[in-house]
Amino acid sequence: MTEDRYLELLGPVDRALLDEGTGGDGTGARFSADPTSLVHALGSEEAFTFVFGETDEVAAVSPMLLFAVVVHRGATEVATSGHVTERVGGRMLVPVFDSGNLAAFAANEWNRLFLVELLGSFTKVASGARYERHGGRLRKRKFSELDPASLSELLLSAPAPERPGLWRRLGDLALFTTGVFPDHAIRHTLGPLELERILRSVPRQDRLQLADQLESFDALDPLLRAFGPRWYRLTADHAVIPGTGDFFRGISDDFDTARRFLAFLSDRYLFNRRTWLFPWNG
């Protein structure tokens, strides 16, 4: 069950605020005594009203609590909506009458927890420099979790036990970027060297299957949509933690549905708050 994990993600301050906002005594003690009540509170109308109020001002809560409330609220909305909107070309919103698939995905408690943690993991990102030895000399290379090319290059030199984690992060980056920042993914172009590094992050058989799409990969969006499911499948195929293989295989299969649900959440709740929630974007 996911309840214990939410207790870890939402610290005492978050739990106390959520308790106060949903009619409790403001201590959060009831959530520790009954973790199931915490999940129920996250999906309540009271929690959404407490976090977002009746204006654009957001309550002074942590991003993780906001994400947890948003994901649960979104799951409720798509379950009762005949359609959702989808951003086309990074700007225009159009109605799509396929909310049933999104509702089925979001109804799974593990999928909801996965998206909460995914969003939370991008509030801060790792970046810096690493050094490689070439011909007896050290060469400095920049590194960023937001750059699929540098992550792919790191993957190529990583020991085998570290590769599943890097494939997972590449999959997360693909899902996050195309779901929450589709405007960036559509505008961003890739050079030949970047494309070559990313291509080498998957087995040769995958590269051959993608051969007829290479011309479209000068833009980041189609590349991430094609590689995201493959990175998650590689995560599943090389999983070392029991049970995670099946989960990430499911995320691989449902990548586009997960992307569209994230896009729905982004447009509905996060779009005008992205600079605050993800400060590196500012």
Q: Let me know if residue 40 belongs to a domain.
A: no
Q: Let me know if residue 85 belongs to a domain.
A: no
pLDDT < 50: residue spans in the chain: none
SS (H, E, C) the chain: CCHHHHHHHCCHHHHHHHHHHCCCCCCCHHHHHCHHHHHHHHCCHHHHHHHHCCCCCCCCCCHHHHHHHHHHHHHHHHHCCCCEEEEECCCEEEEECCHHHHHHHHCCHHHHHHHHHHHHHCCCCCEEEEEEEECCEEEEEEEECCCHHHHHHHHHHCCHHHHHHHHHHHHHHHHHHHHHCHHHHHHCECCHHHHHHHHCCCCHHHHHHCHHHHHHHHEHHHHHHHHHHHHHHHHHHCCCCCCHHHHHHHHHHCHHHHHHHHHHHHHHHHHHHHHHHCHHHC
Q: Let me know if residue 155 belongs to a domain.
A: yes
Q: Let me know if residue 165 belongs to a domain.
A: yes
Q: Let me know if residue 177 belongs to a domain.
A: yes
Q: Let me know if residue 77 belongs to a domain.
A: no
Domain residues for the domain of 274 are 127-281
Dist CA 98 CA 82 (whole Å): 7
Check residue 141 and give its pLDDT: 63
Q: Let me know if residue 255 belongs to a domain.
A: yes
Check residue 245 and give its pLDDT: 96
Check residue 240 and give its pLDDT: 86
Domains of the chain: total: 1
Q: Let me know if residue 109 belongs to a domain.
A: no
Kindly report the pTM of this predicted structure.
0.90
Cα distances (Å, whole numbers) of residue 268 to 7, 85, 120, 160? 26, 9, 18, 40
- Residue 61 tokens read as 């809560």
